[in-house]
């Protein structure tokens, strides 16, 4: 049986490509489980510094597979809860992956596909891409993906798009914060590569820890706690081998050792 995704390595960069083009890269249980396992392995691989998430065919991801939805509609509440928790684990794994992630959005993203985009650190799309949180048309809500979508676009925007199920374009996605950049299709790979190059020039530990810093700042209970935590973090980084090398390279006007020529 054909695997539902491809994993390709280019040095320190891992490309995870959803590979169900005939179904617009829609989710089913096998794809969710496979992506979760692949991401978990990449997160512990010291040779991986950046992960690019992309799709095969015309779409980035159309969300839930229709056959999967039929099966869940016929299942009981416990089975549906377990199924939803599996998707939650995938998104949590992607969101908390200790490596920078880039969503390469070359086509439509709906439902869970929007969740994947929102859970990545950087998202770049083409003008032709379309987006939709269309669950309310089915009498449902994008509950599992909501933490990541709300974090990306904010609560006020989320209230609109969750309720209306309206389709929106790439420019609107960038305006509300779901995409960071919109480029022509011919420039998409160049734009993604530029972000990869920037990430590879950053300290590996620093780049990998950036999302944890943001998460901790958001979760801090008060100014005293956040100041103490941030002071402790920068102190650890300054005396770490990476921090020492980065400062020395700056003072000596040379590239740090982690930047290849």
Last residue of a domain, one of 176, 199, 222: 199
Per-residue pLDDT reduced to its tens digit, 75-134 = 788 887 888 889 999 999 999 999 999 999 999 999 999 999 999 999 999 999 999 999
List Cα–Cα distances, 113 to 20, 87, 103, 195, 234, in angstroms: 13, 11, 10, 21, 35
Q: How confident is the model at residue 230 (pLDDT cuts 50, 70, 90)?
A: low
Structural domain harbouring 27: 5-199
Question: Is the CB of residue 68 less than 8 Å from the CB of residue 31?
Answer: no
Residue 261 pLDDT class (50, 70, 90 cuts): low
Its pTM stands at 0.91
In sequence order, what are the beta bridge partners of 156? none
Order of strands across the sheet with 109-110?
109-110, 130-132, 167-169
pLDDT digit string (tens) for 128-145? Answer: 999 999 989 888 889 999
- 42 burial via Cβ count (<10 Å: 0-12, 13-18, 19+): buried
- Residue 72 inside a domain? The answer is yes
Catalytic residues: 135
Asked if residue 241 and residue 193 are part of one domain, the reply reads no
Question: Is 58 a member of any domain?
Answer: yes
Helix 204-219 and helix 241-251: axis angle, to 10°? 110
Does position 212 have pLDDT exceeding 80, yes or no?
A: yes
Residue 229 predicted with pLDDT over 90 = no
Is residue 101 within 8 Å of 94, Cβ to Cβ? yes
Residues 104 and 215 in one domain: no
How many domains does the chain contain in total? 2
Q: What pairing do the DSSP bridges indicate for beta strands 101-105 and 50-55?
A: parallel
């Amino acid at each position: 049986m054909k695997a539902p995704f491809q994993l390709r390595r280019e040095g320190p960069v891992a490309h995870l490509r959803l590979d169900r083009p005939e179904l617009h890269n829609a989710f089913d249980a096998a794809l969710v489980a496979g992506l979760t396992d692949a991401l978990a392995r990449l997160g512990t691989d010291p040779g991986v510094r950046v992960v690019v998430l992309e799709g095969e065919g015309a779409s980035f991801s159309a969300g839930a597979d229709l056959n999967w939805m039929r099966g869940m509609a016929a299942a009981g509440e416990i089975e549906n809860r377990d199924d939803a928790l599996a998707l939650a684990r995938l998104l949590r794994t992607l969101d908390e992956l200790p490596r920078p992630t880039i969503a390469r959005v070359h086509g439509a993203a709906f439902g869970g596909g929007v969740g994947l985009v929102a859970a990545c650190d950087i998202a770049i799309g083409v003008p032709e891409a379309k987006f939709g949180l269309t669950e309310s048309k089915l009498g449902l809500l994008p509950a599992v993906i909501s933490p990541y979508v709300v974090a990306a676009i904010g609560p006020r925007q989320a209230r609109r798009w969750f309720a209306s199920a309206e389709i929106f374009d790439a420019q609107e996605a960038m305006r509300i914060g779901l995409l960071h950049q919109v480029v022509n299709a011919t420039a998409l790979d160049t734009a993604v590569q530029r972000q990869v190059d920037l990430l590879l020039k950053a300290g590996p530990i620093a780049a990998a820890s950036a999302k944890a810093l943001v998460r901790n700042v958001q979760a801090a209970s008060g100014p005293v706690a956040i100041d103490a935590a941030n002071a402790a973090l920068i102190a650890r980084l300054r005396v770490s081998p990476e921090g020492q090398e980065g400062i020395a390279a700056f003072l000596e006007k040379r590239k740090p050792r982690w930047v290849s020529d």
